[in-house]
Amino acid sequence: METFGLKIIASDRVFYEGRCLSLVIPAPDGEKGILPRHENMVIAIDVGIARMELKEGEWTEVAVGTGFAEIVNNRVTLLVDTAERPEEIDIRRAQEQRERAEEQMRQKQSIQEYYHTQASLARAMNRLRLAQDKKWNL
């Protein structure tokens, strides 16, 4: 089966580097699927869950932060703020982060503070969705 090179770089580490059969990433206008020999392009990435098919029929889900994907010559590079496997997510910490962000949303804030809080809430909700779907760390 045909594959492409995939490298996922988070702000703190190289999260993954290897071959991939298929990749689905969250974009501002919906999910985008990437297959071998995909057209060269750059795609914005939204906070969400990326899915990688590393072996036929075996999908791995990853919570990703904002960033972008570059597709060039059958190689895909994802540059994202964060990338976490379900087992790396501390559910209690993510719930606390969500509660803090929700409380801050109720308070009067500047436009900049509002968008910052909204982004924090989105990241917390994304972590909780992935971790609870996989029943890790419960």
pLDDT score for 138: 37
pLDDT score for 18: 96
**From CA 67, how far away is CA 61, in angstroms rounded?**
17
Instruction: Collect the ranges in the chain with pLDDT lower than 50.
Output: 136-138
pLDDT score for 134: 57
Residues 6+ apart with CB under 8 A from 63: 48, 49, 82, 83, 84, 86, 89, 126, 127, 129, 130, 131
**From CA 42, how far away is CA 52, in angstroms rounded?**
18
pLDDT score for 52: 96
Question: What's the pTM value of the predicted model, to 2 decimals?
Answer: 0.77
pLDDT score for 137: 38
